[in-house]
Chain A
Amino acid sequence: MAVLGTIAVGLAFATAAYGLLAAVVGARRRLPALVESSRTAAYSLLVMVVAANAALMLAILSNDFSIRYVAENSSLNTPVFFKVLSLWSAHEGSLLLWNLVLAGYLAAIALRFRRKPPETLPWALAVMYAVSLFYLFLVMVLSRPFASLAEVPADGRGPLPLLQNHWLMAVHPPFLYLGYIGFSVPFAFAMASLITGQVSDWWVRITRRWTLVAWGFLTVGLTLGALWSYAVLGWGGYWAWDPVENVALLPWLTATAFLHTSMVQERRGMLKLVNLALAVTTFSLTTFGTFLTRAGVVASVHAFTKSLVGPAYLAFLLLVLAAGFGLVALRSQQLRSEGRFDSALARESALLGNAWVILTLAFIVLLGTIFPVLVETVSDRQVAVGAPYFNQVGKLPFLVLLVLMGVGPLLAWRRSSWVQLRGQVGMPAAAGAAVVVATVALGGRSWAAAATFGIATFVLVANAGELGRVISSFARSNRRPLLAAFSAAVTRNRRLVGALVVHSGVAVAACAIAASAFASQTEISLERGQQVGFQGYVLRYEGLRPQPEPQRMVLRAPVSLVQAGRSQGVMEPALNLYPAASEPIATPSIRYGPLTDLYVSVLGFDENGQRATFRVLLNPGVSWLWLGGAMMAFGGAVAAWPPRHRALPAEDLVLARPLAEVG
C-alpha cells in the first residue's frame, strides 16, 4: 500500500510538472493543442491524487502499521469512523487531503472552461499547477505520509484524544480546506491577467462565483470550528483567538472585501488595482495561515507538531508575495479607473468604506496574532495577545461595518439622494433605536451589547425592507400577484437576495456575540445527592457513573435538572480518560435553547467520585451564532447559484441581447 501511494504521489508530481510546462509553453508559443493537453492533464492529476489518498485510507483501515503515519495516528481499538477521520487528523495526512482538494479545484476549472477557453486560461492553469507542485513536493519529500517504520509495532498509538472525541472532526477540516484552497482560483486568474497584461474586468467576472463558493465553504468551516470549540473543548466559549483560528479568519475577511469591491469593478470598471491586490492578499493569507499552523512559529491548540516544512512554507510564501505584489506594482500604470465617483452618497463609496473597515479588522487580527513573534524577535521579551485585546480594539470597526451593511444595499449606484435614503433608512433606524432603549431598560448594562443589538436590528429591518421592495417592484413591473412573484423575483435577483440574506446572517451572529456580555457562570463542588440553584435552575449531582469503552474510559457525572418545579431530565457532562493523554478531556453537556444555553461541564472528581466540581454557565444567544452562520452560508449559496442559461461573459462590454428582452 505504501508503495502504491508513493508511486501515485510521484506520478501526480510528474503530471503537475507536465501540466505547468505545457501550459506555459502553449501560452507563449500560442499552441492551442498544447494548452488543451495541459487542461486535460488536470483530470489525470486528480486521478493520481485520489489514488494516493485512497492508498492511505486503505492502509489505515487495514491497520497497516508498517507505515509510520498509520502507527502514529490509528490503532486497533479506534472505531472505524475515527479511523477514516485520521486521514486528515495529523500533519502528513492532512497535507494529502490538501492536495486532493487542490487537484479537485484544478479539475473543476479544466472542466468549466473546456468550451471556448479564455485567453488567460493557460496562465491560470500554470499558476494552479505551480501551487500543486509545491504541495505535492511537500508530500513527496518533506512530510511523507507513506514513510515506513523499520520495526512494525503490534498496535498503533491511536489518534490524539481530542481528535477522536466528536463527529465534528469529520466536517470541520474538509470544509475549511474547501474554502481555504478555493481561494487559489481567483488568485490564479488574477495572476494570469497580470502576467498576460490583460488587466480587463474579465477575470473578476469569471472568478466571482468561484470566490463566492470558496467563501461559503470557509464560512461553514469557521462556524463548525466555533461549534467544536463550544461543544467539544468544554471551556464554555466558541472563539479563543487562537493563532490558528485567527489565520483562518483572515482570508475570510479579505475575501469578503474582495467580493464587495469586485462589484464596483464589474459595474463601473473601477478599483482594478484594489481587486487584484485583494485576490493576491487572500491567497497569500491562506499560505501564511498554513505556514503558521505547521511551522511551529506560534504555540497553538491546533498546531501540528513542529515539522520540517517550516522553511519550505516560508520560501513559498515569500515567492507568492514577491510574484503577486511585484506584478501588481509592475502593472499598476495600466490599472486606471474607467469610471468616476459621482457622489459620496452612492453604493461605490459604501463598498469602498466597507473594504476599508474590513481591512482594518483584518489588520488588527493579523497584528495581534504575530505581535508576540515580533516582540520576541526585536527584544527578548515575551508577551501574549488574547481576547481582551481583540475584543476591545475590534469592537468599533465591527460596529461601523454593521452600519454599512444596513446602509449599503439601500444606496443606488453612482448617485443616491438624501431624501430617498432618509425615507428608506427611517424605519430601520427607528427600530434600532427602539431596541437599544429596550435593552437598556431591561437591565442590560453593556453599551456595546445595546449598540450591537440596535445596529443589528437596523441591518435586519433595512435588508428585509430592501427584499420587500425588490419583490414588490418585480411584481408590479410584471403584473403578478405578490406571492407568486416571490420565487421569480428571488431567482432573477439571486445576487441581491443572497447578499441580503448574508447581511441578515451577520446581524444575527453579531447579536449572538454581543449577548455574551450577559453570560453568567458559577463553579461549584457538589457531593453526591447535593443540589445547587443557578439562574432559576436546580442542579443535583447524582453520582459518578463510569463507562468503559474500547479506546477510553468515560467518567460520567449525571446532573439532574429541575426548572420552575418541573424536571428537565438529566445532563451528563463527562471526563474522558485516554491512555495516551496525561490529562482527561472534558465533554460538556449542553441544553441548547433559542434564547439561552445551559452549559454544564465537570472539572474534576474527588473521593472516588463522591464529590465533583462543576462549572455551570448560562450562555444567552449562542444558538443565534449557528443560525447566523447557516444564514450566511445559505445566502452565499443563493448568490452563487448558477442561472439556467449560462454563457461565458463576452470579453468586451458588448450588448449581447436587445434590451427589450430583459424583464
Chain B
Amino acid sequence: MTGRLPWAGLALAAALLTAAAALAFAAISSSENSGTLEQRAHAVAATLKCPVCHDLSAADSPAPVAQQMRAQITEELRAGRTPDQIRADFVAAYGEWILLSPPQRGLGLLPWLAPGLLGVAGLALLAVTLRRWSRQHEADPTDAAAPELSAADRRLLDRALAAARGEVD
C-alpha cells in the first residue's frame, strides 16, 4: 500500500471537491430569497456597489446614498419585485459597474471559469508529475530493501541529517 499512488483516493477527492464547488455556487443566491425582508434587502444590496464609495457594497457602506439604496431595495422587495429585476433597474441607471460581480457572459465569464480551470489543470499536472516521479522510483529497486522506520525515528533522523548539513536554523 505504501509507495503506490492512491488513485482511488485522488479520484474520490476530485469528486468531493467538485460537489463542494457546486454547493458553494448554489449556496450564495439563496439568502436573497429567504429570511426576513431586512435580511433579503441586505443580501441584494450586498451584490450592488455603493456608487460614491470605492469598493464597498451598498449593504456595507455607511454613505447616505447607500442608505437610500437600501431603503429603495426594501421597498421594491416589499412590492414584490425580484432581486434580478431590482439589479437590472440599477444597471439601467448606473451601468454594469454597479454590480459587484462580473456579469456572467462574454468576457465576464473569464474570472468565473479561470480559477476552476486552473485548479483542475493543477490537479492533473500534479497527478501526472507524481506518477512520473513515482514510476522512476519503481524502476529503482535499491530502496525496497530499506527497513521501515517509525514516525518518531524518522523525525529524529530527519533532524539529525538537517543539523549535520549545517542548515541555517
**Nearest CB to that of A403 among chain B residues?**
B13
List chain A residues, Cβ under 8 A from B17: 396, 400
In the complex with contacts A205-B168, A384-B97, A522-B49 CB distance below 8 A: no
Query: Is A241 a contact of B167 with CB atoms below 8 Å?
Result: no
Known contacts A235-B62, A360-B122; is A385 also within 8 Å of B111 by CB?
A: yes
Given contacts A209-B168, A340-B136, A418-B2, contact A397 B119 (CB under 8 A): yes
Whether A349 contacts B169 in the complex (CB less than 8 A), given A363-B114, A392-B28, comes out as no
Any B CB within 8 A of the CB of A260: no
1/0 per residue B51-80: CB within 8 Å of A?
Answer: 000111100111110010010000000000
- Pick the residue among A237, A412, A521, A647 that contacts B151 (CB under 8 A): A412
Q: Which residues of A contact B111 (CB under 8 A)?
A: 364, 367-368, 371, 385, 389, 393
Measured between beta carbons, the chain A residues less than 8 angstroms from B123 are 356
What distance in Å separates the Cβ of A604 from its nearest Cβ neighbour in chain B?
7
Known: A387-B57, A649-B166. A493 touches B159 (CB 8 A): yes
Residue of A nearest to B148 (CB): A417
Report chain B residues within 8 Å CB of A372.
97
Complex interface bits, A384-408 against B, C-beta within 8 A gives 1, otherwise 0: 1111110011011101100000000
Task: Tell whether, in the assembled complex, residue B164 and residue A379 are in contact, meaning their CB atoms are under 8 Å apart.
Answer: no
On whether the beta carbons of B114 and A367 are closer than 8 Å, the reply is: yes
- Asked if A342 and B165 sit within 8 Å, CB to CB, the answer is no
Check A341–B97 contact: CB distance below 8 A.
no
Are B168 and A208 in contact (CB-based, < 8 A)? yes
CB distance from A411 to the nearest CB of B (A): 10
A479 within 8 A of B: no
A615 to B137, CA, bound (A): 63
Which residues of chain B are within 8 angstroms of A415 by Cβ–Cβ distance?
2-3
B89 interfacial contact with A, CB 8 Å? no
Nearest neighbor of A472 in chain B, beta-carbon distance: B152
Given contacts A378-B107, A400-B17, contact A643 B60 (CB under 8 A): no
A568–chain B nearest beta-carbon distance, Å: 23
Asked if A85 is at the interface (CB within 8 A of a chain B CB), the reply is no
Check A382 for interface membership: any CB of B closer than 8 A: yes
Q: Mark each residue of chain A from 135 to 152: 1 if its CB lies under 8 Å from any CB of chain B, else 0.
A: 000000000000000000
Nearest-CB distance from B141 to chain A (Å)?
13
Is A440 an interface position by the 8 A CB rule? no
Interface assignment of A448: CB less than 8 Å from any CB of chain B: yes
A231 in contact (CB, < 8 A): no
The CB with the most chain A CB atoms within 10 A, among B1, B20, B110, is that of: B20
The answer to whether A383 touches B164, judged by C-beta atoms less than 8 angstroms apart, is no
Asked whether any CB of chain A lies closer than 8 Å to the CB of B15, the reply is no
In the complex, chain A residues whose CB is within 8 Å of the CB of B115: 360, 363-364, 367, 393, 397
Given A378-B107, A389-B101, A657-B164, A343:B134 Cβ within 8 A: yes
B12 at interface by CB-CB < 8 Å = no
Q: For the complex formed, measure the closest distance between the CB of B155 and the CB atoms of chain A, giving whole angstroms.
A: 7
A341 & B137 in contact (Cβ 8 Å cutoff): yes
Q: Are B156 and A381 in contact (CB under 8 A)?
A: no
The dominant DSSP class at the B interface is helix
Task: Please give me the residue from chain A that is nearest to B28 by CB atom.
Answer: A392
Q: Judging by beta carbons under 8 Å apart, are B95 and A382 in contact?
A: yes
CB pair B165–A653 under 8 Å, yes or no, is yes
Q: Considering residues B101, B123, B154, which has the most beta carbons from chain A within 10 angstroms of its beta carbon? A: B101
Q: Do A341 and B62 have beta carbons less than 8 Å apart?
A: no
Residues in B whose Cβ lies below 8 Å from that of A492? 159
Determine the distance from Cα of A266 to Cα of B158 in the docked complex, in whole angstroms: 12
A464-494 vs B, Cβ < 8 Å mask (1 yes, 0 no):
0000011001000100000000000000111
With A234-B62, A522-B38, A647-B166 known as contacts, the answer to whether A342 contacts B137 (CB < 8 A) is yes
Query: Once bound together, how far apart are the Cα atoms of A618 and B62, in whole Å?
Result: 16
Residues of B contacting A382 in the complex (Cβ-Cβ under 8 angstroms): 95-97
When A384-B49, A615-B62 are in contact, do A659 and B55 touch as well, CB less than 8 Å? no
Q: Which residues of B contact A235 (CB under 8 A)?
A: 56, 60-62
- Minimum CB–CB distance for B36 against chain A, Å: 11
The answer to whether A656 touches B25 (Cβ under 8 A) is no
Chain B residues, CB < 8 A from A371: 102, 110-111
Question: Which A620-634 residues sit within 8 Å CB-CB of chain B?
Answer: none
A206 at the binding interface (Cβ < 8 Å): yes
Who on chain A is nearest to B38 by CB? Answer: A522
Residue of A nearest to B98 (CB): A384
Instruction: Contact check, B167 vs A523: say whether CB atoms are below 8 A apart.
Output: no
User: Once bound together, how far apart are the Cα atoms of A492 and B156, in whole Å?
Assistant: 12
In residues 14-41 of chain B, which contact A (Cβ within 8 Å)? 17, 20-21, 23-25, 27-28, 38
Contacts of B3 in A (CB 8 A): 342-343, 415
Interchain nearest-CB distance for A649 vs B (Å): 5
Q: Is B6 an interface residue (CB 8 A)?
A: yes
Interface string of B129-149 (1 = CB under 8 A from A): 110011011001001000010
| Residues of B close to A459: CB separation below 8 A | none
- Is A101 at the interface (CB under 8 A from chain B)? no
Report the separation of the CA atoms of residues A152 and B169 in the bound assembly, to the nearest whole angstrom. Answer: 56
- The complex places the Cα of A615 from the Cα of B148 at a distance, in Å, of 63
B168 touches A383 (CB 8 A): no
A373 at the interface (CB under 8 A from B): no
Is A345 in the interface zone, CB < 8 Å from B? yes
A residues in contact with B70, CB < 8 Å: 523
- The smallest beta-carbon distance between B162 and chain A, in angstroms, is 7
Which residues from chain A contact B110 at a C-beta distance below 8 Å? 367, 371
Q: A371-B110, A415-B3, A656-B164 are in contact. Are A388 and B54 (CB under 8 A)?
A: no
| A430 at interface, CB cutoff 8 A | no
Given contacts A363-B114, A367-B110, A473-B156, A345 and B23 within 8 Å (CB-CB): no
Task: Say yes or no: B21 contacts A396, CB within 8 Å.
Answer: yes
Chain A residues with CB under 8 A of B130 = 341, 344, 349
With an 8 A cutoff between CB atoms, is A242 at the interface?
A: yes
With A385-B102, A473-B152, A656-B166 given, is the CB distance from A393 to B133 under 8 Å?
A: no
Residue A655 at the B interface, CB < 8 A?
A: yes
What are 17 contact pairs spanning A and B, CB under 8 A? A209-B168, A267-B158, A340-B133, A340-B140, A341-B137, A352-B126, A359-B122, A363-B118, A364-B111, A383-B96, A384-B97, A392-B101, A412-B154, A418-B6, A495-B169, A604-B64, A655-B164
Q: Besides the contacts A371-B110, A417-B2, what 14 more A-B pairs have beta carbons closer than 8 Å? A: A240-B60, A341-B133, A342-B134, A375-B107, A385-B111, A387-B46, A388-B101, A400-B17, A424-B151, A448-B27, A613-B67, A649-B168, A656-B164, A662-B164
